[in-house]
Structure 1
Amino acid sequence: MTATTGLSSRPGSGRRHPTPRPSFAHLSRMSDDTGLFEHARHAIVRREHGYCTDDVARGLVVTSREPEPTEEVLRLAERYLAFLTHAQDVGGAFRNRLGHDRRWTDEPRLGDWWGRALWGLGTAAARSPAPWIREEALVAFSRGATRRAPTPHAMAFAGLGAVEVLRRHPAHAAAAALLADAANTIGAPGADPVWPWPQPRLTYANAALAEVVIAASQLRHDGPSLDDGLRMLTWLRDVQLRDGHLAVVPAGGWERGAPRRSHDQQPIEVAAFADACATAADVTGDPGWEVGVRQAVGWFLGANDVGTRMWDPATGGGYDGLTAHGPNLNQGAESTLAVLSTLQHARRWS
C-alpha cells in the first residue's frame, strides 16, 4: 500500500498511521464472470449466498469513480454493468437476488436495489473513462429513471444517480425530474433543533438523504434550500461524534426519544457520511466538511469506539461491522466497498 496521509489509529492514542490507497484485490476476489458475491467468511467467498443487485450496484459506483482505473478495475465495471442490465426489466424495475446457479429468486421491483442500481448506472454514465460503458449505462439509467419508489431511501439512492447524470448531461430531463422527486420524498428538516431529521427514525445510510438535498439545491433551480441539506448533515454529524471520533448510528437504528445503542456500527453508514461530507465540501467550499471525510477514514483506521482497525490490509477487505468486542472479521462485499469508497475520498485531501 502507498501512504498518503496520517491519521490516529486509536482515539486519543497519539499514534499515527498512513492512510492506504484503495486496493481492489478483495473486490476481485469476491467477483467472478457473473457479478459480485454478497458474503464472505473472513476473506473467503460464500458462494451459496449468491449475488445481489444492491452490492453489484455499489461495485459499479466505486469502480466508476476510479480516475485512472487499471484493466482489472475496468473489467469489474463491465461485469457489474452487464449484471445490472440483466437484472433490469423492460419497465425499468430490477430484480435483486441471483443464486450461484444463475437463477433469479425474485421478481423485478422498486426497492432499495432499484435506487442503488440507478446510482451505479448514473455514476458509470457520468464518470467511466470507457465510452462503451458510459453509453450503455446511460440507456439503462434512462429506462429506470422513469419509475418512482415509495420509500425515501430508495429515492435517495436513485437521486444520487440522477446527480451524477446531471453533472455530465445537464439537460437530461428524466434525471432532473427524478432528482426533484427524490428531494421531495425525503422532505425538509423539522423546526425542532433536538430532532430536525425529516423522518422520526434514523435507519441506515442516513447521510445519503442529506446529500441528495444538498446536491438538489445546486442542480435544480426550483430545488430545496441548501440550508435544509446542510442542517440535516450538520445535525447528523454532531450526534455521531463522540470524543472527537465518529460513532455512527448502529444497525438497529435510532428512533426519536428512544435510547441509542452503540453497536453494531456498519461500514455503510461511515461511507455514506464520507460521501455526503465530500459533496458538502464541493458545494460550499467550506473546508470544515473535509474534516468529516477524514473522520470517516479514521473510523476505518481505528479512530472509533473500540480503537480497532476496520479493514484488513493483507486482503484489502473491509470488516462487516463494529461490535462492542471488536470487528466482525467477515469481509463481505458491502463492507469492502465501503472501505474503498471512503479511501477514494481520502486521496483528494491528503
Structure 2
Amino acid sequence: MTATTDQLSTADRARPLAAPAPSFAHLIRMSDDTGLFEHARHAIVRREHGYCTDDVARGLVVTSRQPEPTEEVLRLAERYLAFLTHAQDARGAFHNRLGHDRRWTDEPGLGDWWGRALWGLGTAAARSPATWIREEALVAFGRAATRRSPAPRAMAFAGLGAVEVLRRHPAHSAAAALLADAATTVGTPGPDPEWRWPEQQLTYANAAVAEVVIAASQLRHGGPDLGDGLRMLAWLRDVQLLDGRLSVVPAAGWRRGAARLRHDQQPIEVAAFADACATAATVTGDPGWETGVQQAVGWFLGDNEVGTRMWDPETGGGYDGLTAHGPNLNQGAESTLALISTLQHARSWW
C-alpha cells in the first residue's frame, strides 16, 4: 500500500534535518512474550505471518546497542535472546520461521538468519548492560561461531557479530577465525573502477559486505587490506547518490551492465549503509564518512528522491519501502528496526 506523505519543499531540503531520538514504541507493539512479529498492515501486527529469526536477531542488535536502555527495552532484549537460544540447535544452526502456534516451520540451517543470529548474539555479548544477557549471548555465539555458511551475506552478518565480540573479548579465537573467514568469503573488489565490487550484482544489505572487510582489516593476523573495504564502500556510496541524496539499490537489485532501477528502495539498505559508514569513520578517523550517516538519516526524514518521510512519528514505525509514488505505509519489523538502527547512529555522531 502506498501514499504520498509530508513531502519536503525546496526550502526544507536546504535546511539540515534534525534527527529524533530512536523510538521503541512500535517495536514494543510488534512484540509479545515469544518474540517479534514479522509483518504489519499499517501499524497493526499481522500475527498470522508469525516470527522469524532474521528480525528477532536484528531486534537484539538494536536493543543491545541502545545506550542506557529503559526497563522495557531491556526486557525486549532478554525476550529476543531467549527466542534465539530456542531457535538454535545443538550444532549451532538456527531455525528461521516460527508460526503463531509456536511451531517451527523449517529445519535448522545456515542461511542469512544464522548470520544475523550471530550478529545479534555478538552485539548482546559485547554491549548489553545486563550481565546475564551478556553471558548467555556469549555461550550461544560460541556454539554458532564454529559453523560456516557458503553464502557471502550470511558470512558478512556473522562477521559483524564476531567484530562485536572481539571489541569486548579481543582474545576470543573463534570470533577472530569467523571474522577472517567472513572477509575471505566476501572477497575483494575487482580492478574495474566502474564496478568496485566482489560480485557481479548488488542485491540486499550491500554495505554490510564492505563493512565486514573494513572491520576485518583490524585483525592482528590474516586480516584483509583496509583499502579494499574502503574502496568498496566509497564506490557503493558514489553509485547510490543522486543529486547529493541517498538513492539506494532497490529490492530488484542491480546487475553489472544492466539498467539501474530506482524503486522499490528498502530501509534495510539505508541502515546497512549507515552502519558501514559509522564503522569506516571509527576505523579510519576520517570524519568524511560521517556524511554517509547523515545521508542515511536524511533518507528516513524525507531527504530522498521522492521527498517524503519514511517513518510515522505517531507510532514510531518505519515504512516498508520507497516507491516512485511514495512510501509503502506498512510498518513491519525489518523497516522499523532499520529506522531505529539508523537513528541510533545519529544520536551517537551528533
- TM-score interval (norm. to shorter): over 0.9
The letter of the residue matching 1:77 is A
More off after superposition, 220-229 vs 143-152: 220-229
CA shift for structure 1 position 219: 2.5
CA shift for structure 1 position 18: 2.4
Q: Where do residues 98-117 of structure 1 align in structure 2 (5 Å cutoff)?
A: 98-117=98-117
Query: CA 1:94 to 1:172, structure 2 compared with 1: closer, same or farther past 3 Å?
Result: same
Aligned counterpart, 1:133: 133
Structure 1 residues 54-91: Cα deviation after superposition (integer angstroms, max 9, x where no partner): 00000000000011000000000000000000000000
- Native 8 Å contact 1:163 1:175 kept in 2: yes
Q: Where do residues 135-214 of structure 1 align in structure 2 (5 Å cutoff)?
A: 135-214=135-214
1: CA distance, partners of 2:187 / 2:172: 23
Structure 1 residues 225-271: Cα deviation after superposition (integer angstroms, max 9, x where no partner): 00000000000000000001000000000000000100000000000
Structure 1 residues 107-160: Cα deviation after superposition (integer angstroms, max 9, x where no partner): 000000000000000000000000000000000000000000001000000000
2: CA distance, partners of 1:259 / 1:117: 34
2: CA distance, partners of 1:44 / 1:16: 32
- Native 8 Å contact 2:17 2:298 kept in 1: no
The letter of the residue matching 2:183 is A
The letter of the residue matching 2:101 is D
- Native 8 Å contact 1:10 1:304 kept in 2: no
Aligned counterpart, 1:297: 297
Aligned counterpart, 1:327: 327
Aligned counterpart, 1:65: 65
- Native 8 Å contact 1:247 1:305 kept in 2: yes
Unaligned segments of structure 2, at least 5 residues: 1-6
Q: Where do residues 26-45 of structure 1 align in structure 2 (5 Å cutoff)?
A: 26-45=26-45
Query: CA 1:53 to 1:11, structure 2 compared with 1: closer, same or farther past 3 Å?
Result: farther
The letter of the residue matching 1:260 is R
Query: CA 1:11 to 1:162, structure 2 compared with 1: closer, same or farther past 3 Å?
Result: farther
Structure 1 residues 146-175: Cα deviation after superposition (integer angstroms, max 9, x where no partner): 000001000000000000001100111110
Structure 1 residues 291-317: Cα deviation after superposition (integer angstroms, max 9, x where no partner): 000000000000101000000000000
Asked if 1:21 is matched to 2:17, the reply is no
CA RMSD of aligned residues (A): 1.1
Aligned counterpart, 1:313: 313
Q: Where do residues 244-255 of structure 1 align in structure 2 (5 Å cutoff)?
A: 244-255=244-255
CA shift for structure 1 position 19: 1.2
CA shift for structure 1 position 10: 5.6
Q: Percent identity?
A: 83
SS at match of 2:218: helix
Query: CA 1:11 to 1:182, structure 2 compared with 1: closer, same or farther past 3 Å?
Result: farther
Unaligned segments of structure 1, at least 5 residues: 1-7
2: CA distance, partners of 1:183 / 1:319: 32
Aligned counterpart, 1:283: 283
CA shift for structure 1 position 198: 0.2
Aligned counterpart, 1:120: 120
Query: Normalising by the residue count of structure 1, what TM-score does the alignment of the two structures yield?
Result: 0.97
Post-superposition, which runs of at least 4 consecutive aligned residues in structure 1 deviate over 3 A? 8-13
2: CA distance, partners of 1:157 / 1:171: 20
SS at match of 1:322: strand
Number of paired residues?
343
1: CA distance, partners of 2:85 / 2:280: 31
Aligned counterpart, 1:270: 270
